[in-house]
Amino acid sequence: SQNLPIIINTWFVSNATYAAWEELTAHGGSAVDAVVAGCSQCEASQCRGTVGFGGDPDENGETTLDAMIMDGKTMDVGAVAALRLVKPAIAVARAVMDYTEHTLLVGDQASLFAKDMGFTIETLTTNKSHIEWKNWINNKCQPNFRKNVIPDHTTSCGPYKPKKKLEKQHPNSRSNFGISPYNHDTIGMIAIDKNGNISAGTSTNGLSHKVPGRVGDSPLMGAGSYAMNGAGGAACTGDGDIMMRFLPSFQAVMLMKSGMEPSLALKEAMAPIIQYYPSFFGAMIAVSSNGTFAAVCHGYKTFPFCVVNPSFHEVKVLKVQC
Ligand code: SD4
């Protein structure tokens, strides 16, 4: 088919798309190899500042990484969450898949595993992420993601204590939390090789000023991404704390498995999120096993994504209106 092989990924990060396409076509790599190559390019180049080291520091100023890779042929998955001190997160996720019987490793223990596998332990903080964190501290830690707590502003923001009486939060608003289209982005990528093998993966440094230990949707299979041969692949970007509650990638792939077109499957997968959280920011991409693709978004003005397949000859940056 002229639609296969295909690479598709979130946001305007076409160098990552090229890297994945090269891996798939010139180097004879698998769909999994392609997604790892594409997301690794993004991590190494700190694309958009929201993937890889040196971006989105948490409350303590530390950057931690979330990533996953899924093989839709075997339904094997490797993932890391709140990974500290190791830059190539999706490569570590792949090592979890290739060298363990597990699916998801987290935090310090994920770093120890990475060290055993030969990855370098190094700081993920840069001047830029340090300054971003300092500015946040100087700005009395606004915005922040805690609720029903009293901050103790002696030196920084914490420690936080629970308020005596819990205040009711408006369930449909995330505006208090400082979520905007600019402070969080994930690379989500799907590859299908010419034999129809599908892989999907994600990589991100999450959310600026997150509570340390916070894990987003990106490393969670079915939330951040999902792939199944014969059905398709899907990936998400946006407000992961909200999106993960609906397993939108799993939902979209299952709908494609039942024969639904990607564009409709994405709309269906997003609908309940919009219903409960009308002001959330998020976007999804999906491709069915025959190479038909689509994207949807909510809360942004437009959402750019990159695609390459044999009929396009080169990487195309496309946009959907939200
Ligand atoms: C997260 N979904 O950690 C990620 C961040 C992101 O667009 O994609 N932002 O919530």
Ligand 1 centroid vs 157 CA: distance in angstroms? 24
Residue 245: which of 264, 272, 226 has the closest Cα? 272
Residue 32: which of 4, 66, 61, 72 has the closest Cα? 72
ipTM of the complex: 0.96
Q: Confirm whether residue 240 is marked as ligand binding.
A: yes
Ligand 1 centroid vs 2 CA: distance in angstroms? 32
pLDDT above 70 for 94: yes
Structure tokens at 129: 């992420």
The answer to whether 306 and 315 have CB atoms below 8 angstroms apart is: yes
Residue 181: which of 106, 267, 281, 251 has the closest Cα? 281
Active-site residue, from 10, 186, 202, 204: 186
Ligand 1, atom nearest to 210 Cα:
3
Pocket test for ligand 1, best of 13, 186, 285 (most atoms within 8 A of CB): 186
Mean pLDDT on 173-199: 76
pLDDT band at 210 (very low <50, low <70, confident <90, very high): very high
Pocket test for ligand 1, best of 183, 239, 273, 284 (most atoms within 8 A of CB): 239
The answer to whether 45 and 15 have CB atoms below 8 angstroms apart is: yes
- For residue 167, the model assigns a pLDDT of 58
Q: Confirm whether residue 282 is marked as ligand binding.
A: no
Is 88's C-beta closer than 6 angstroms to any atom of ligand 1? no
Is 188's C-beta closer than 6 angstroms to any atom of ligand 1? no
pLDDT above 70 for 181: no
- For residue 142, the model assigns a pLDDT of 87
pLDDT above 50 for 294: yes
pLDDT band at 159 (very low <50, low <70, confident <90, very high): confident
Mean of pLDDT over the chain: 93
- Cα 219 from Cα 63, distance rounded (Å): 15
Ligand 1 centroid vs 216 CA: distance in angstroms? 6
- For residue 153, the model assigns a pLDDT of 64
50 is catalytic: no
Q: Confirm whether residue 54 is marked as ligand binding.
A: no
Mean pLDDT on 60-84: 98
Ligand 1 centroid vs 218 CA: distance in angstroms? 7
Ligand 1 centroid vs 239 CA: distance in angstroms? 5
Residue 280: which of 205, 184, 211 has the closest Cα? 184
- For residue 129, the model assigns a pLDDT of 96
pLDDT above 90 for 15: yes
pLDDT above 50 for 175: no
C-alpha distance from residue 83 to each of 52, 65, 140, 235 (Å)? 11, 5, 27, 20
pLDDT above 60 for 24: yes
- For residue 164, the model assigns a pLDDT of 73
- For residue 170, the model assigns a pLDDT of 53
Mean pLDDT on 140-159: 82
CB proximity list for 219: less than 8 A, separation 6 or greater: 66, 67, 68, 79, 80, 81, 93, 104, 202
- For residue 166, the model assigns a pLDDT of 61
The answer to whether 286 and 270 have CB atoms below 8 angstroms apart is: no
C-alpha distance from residue 97 to each of 32, 67, 78, 294 (Å)? 11, 12, 4, 28
* Better pLDDT: 168 or 98: 98
- Cα 39 from Cα 8, distance rounded (Å): 11
Q: Whose CA is nearest to atom 2 of ligand 1?
A: 240
Percentage of the chain lying above the pLDDT 70 cut: 93
Looking up tokens 């840069």 gives 126
The H or E element containing residue 67 is strand 65-71
Mean pLDDT on 227-233: 98
pTM above 0.90? Answer: yes
Q: Whose CA is nearest to atom 3 of ligand 1?
A: 206
Pocket test for ligand 1, best of 48, 185, 208 (most atoms within 8 A of CB): 185
Which residue type occupies 15?
A: N
pLDDT band at 2 (very low <50, low <70, confident <90, very high): confident
pLDDT above 80 for 101: yes
